[in-house]
Structure 1
Amino acid sequence: MLINCKGQLIDLSIPKVMGILNVTPNSFFDGGKYKNEEEIIFQVGKMLAEGATFIDIGAYSSKPSAEFVTEQEEIERIVPVIELILKHFPETLLSIDTFRAEVAKASIESGAAIINDIAAGELDNKMFDVIADYNVPYIMMHMRGNPQTMQSLTEYDDIVKEMLFYFSEKVKLARSLGINDLILDPGFGFAKTTDQNYEVMQKMELFNLLELPVLAGVSRKSMIYKTLNNTAQEALNGTTVLNTIALTKGAKIVRVHDVKEAVECVALLTKMNF
């Protein structure tokens, strides 16, 4: 599996690691941690040195009940960070975590390589057009509602079957617009109970039926720390376990706060020819 990032073909036959950089003051794990240029450059340099292929930047927290941020404020948060990173690390492949078409457009024009949309176009009907116009890889996540309402929308008859239908419809639309590089994200923690998250993980190989790369994003999420009765700060070991399971079930990208440990997971599983 190959995706084209700014003219560079990235081979996903060996899974890749996406490092998370939140520039929000309220992210559930690292909110407010990277609030000046020195801290941002240090963290990005660290993740790249540890083996991250992509850096995913978010400027609007998508945690449950996250407060509203205006589109303009999101752009004003994220574009200077893109420019700063590319000034210091010009070859970096930046993914932008946004569900807004105008933020995606501004980010791509500033040098971003990938758009990572938690709503797969559901929260902005112009998103697919922007992706098609700029022809960048597009991560489509499964979610119901929005960050403020999603935790009340967890009723499913057959969650994985419904997710497969959701993705098949999104893929059909994307293909009709000429979008080439698509990545599927099951959306762990989004409009899903803890038990549903584990059901999706258990059956995750079924998403390979769509013949597209799958991204797993479980890093330090509540499905881990609530099950283990600890905290997000204590959830690295649980994250590593679930990343390993996701990789054995076909995930081609793992999105993580802790790059070194995820890269080691990939290396060990690759050694075993998974």
Structure 2
Amino acid sequence: MTHYIIPLLRPASQAQDSMPALRGQHALRIGAVDILARDTDLRVARSFDAVTDAVLTQAPVPLCGLSLDRPRIMGIVNVTPDSFSDGGRFNSTDAALEQARRLVADGADILDIGGESTRPGAQEVPIDEEIARTVPLIRALRAGGLTQPISIDTRKAAVASAALEAGADIVNDVSALTWDRDLAHVIAQAQVPVCLMHAQGTPQTMQNNPKYDDVRLDVYDWLMQAIDRAGDAGIATSQIIVDPGIGFGKTTGHNLALLRDLALLHMTGCAILLGASRKRFIGQISGVQDAAGRVSGSLAVALAAAGSGAQILRVHDVAQTRQALSIWEALNTVNYRDQE
């Protein structure tokens, strides 16, 4: 029977020194682990010494020069007319350029630039149009001296290739290399990081009654298969980021289960990206229908993800997330000292 290990984490400020740090993160320690198996409700909490696994203590390699010893913020720049939260606001290169610069000034460690909405019901964008939306922005940012890593949010090999040539550093693929089989070869040849996200179905169909045996374990197994697929194409595991795909073929209950046991994904050996900013389940729980009004709920989710050891938080509201994380880090880091 396959067993699944979820690290049970403690803030470093409250943990014993003997507890190992979670994958090099200075704010979190591994106090114990939960061991799960399919077809049983049994959860067995054991001390870390009883179940040692080096994958939980080995720090991920730096991402484009960024260490992952603390949560990094990925700011979202949607150059689209129809994204669920900010569609049309940054639908020109000039407007998107201004927004990108604002996000960097607010504290974004990474920019994620997308030219195709993948909200529920969204239609596919032609390759030429997606390139026309994203590549001029990437070129302008690099020409203006931006040094932060840039991620291209695309499912398509031709778009990724053009974006990487223009100065992008990371490929963020919501299909995990299943939409365009040539994309894996583009990434392997360029030797750049890739984010593999879980999704059930396509944007057109993914919210049509999604079902799982156990969403946590199903997503984990699916992502492990995606990691193997990437490896077969020549992409090193150290270059892979995994994303559980909050809202992509999931109900509110599915999303909450994934968030509660997000730490399970550390067993993939890859860095974890969590993208839940302003999503529908936050509105369903809080009663806030306007996506732009879900900032507070998004911050709550971001801090929960940080507490589970997520290395990258993909968000719309960078300044607010940066402020919240600064307090979270101060509370959870050993021997934090006021600098004033």
- TM-score, scaled relative to structure 2: 0.77
Q: What SS does the corresponding residue of 2:225 show, helix, strand or coil? A: helix
Gaps of 5+ in 1: none
Matches within 5 A, 1:28-67: 28-67=84-123
Q: Shift in Å at residue 153 of structure 1? A: 5.7
Deviation digits for residues 119-167 of structure 1, max 9, x if unmatched? 0011111111111011111000000221111112611111111111111
- Tell me the residue number matched to 1:250: 309
Q: What SS does the corresponding residue of 1:21 show, helix, strand or coil? A: strand
- Tell me the residue number matched to 1:122: 178
Structure having the higher Rg = 2
- Tell me the residue number matched to 2:221: 165
- Tell me the residue number matched to 1:96: 152
Alignment counterpart, residue 73 of structure 1, candidates 119, 126, 129: 129
Q: Indicate yes or no: 2:322 matched with 1:266.
A: no
- Tell me the residue number matched to 1:105: 161
Matches within 5 A, 1:137-216: 137-152=193-208, 154-180=210-236, 181-216=239-274
Q: What SS does the corresponding residue of 1:95 show, helix, strand or coil? A: strand
Q: What SS does the corresponding residue of 1:77 show, helix, strand or coil? A: helix
- Tell me the residue number matched to 2:11: none
Q: What SS does the corresponding residue of 2:271 show, helix, strand or coil? A: coil
Cα RMSD for the two superposed structures? 1.4
- Mapped to 1, the partners of 2:235 and 2:332 lie a distance apart of 31
- Mapped to 1, the partners of 2:99 and 2:164 lie a distance apart of 22
Deviation digits for residues 37-76 of structure 1, max 9, x if unmatched? 4422321121111111101011000000002211111112
Aligned residues: 271
Contact 1:58–1:98 (8 Å) recurs in 2: yes
Q: Supply the AA of the counterpart residue of 1:183.
A: I
Contact 2:115–2:153 (8 Å) recurs in 1: yes
Contact 1:56–1:96 (8 Å) recurs in 2: yes
- Mapped to 1, the partners of 2:125 and 2:92 lie a distance apart of 20
- Give 1 or 2: higher helix fraction: 1
Q: Supply the AA of the counterpart residue of 1:107.
A: A
- TM-score, scaled relative to structure 1: 0.95
Gaps of 5+ in 2: 1-59, 334-340
Q: Supply the AA of the counterpart residue of 2:299.
A: T
Q: What SS does the corresponding residue of 1:150 show, helix, strand or coil? A: coil
Contact 1:105–1:130 (8 Å) recurs in 2: yes
Q: What SS does the corresponding residue of 1:214 show, helix, strand or coil? A: strand
Contact 1:41–1:88 (8 Å) recurs in 2: no
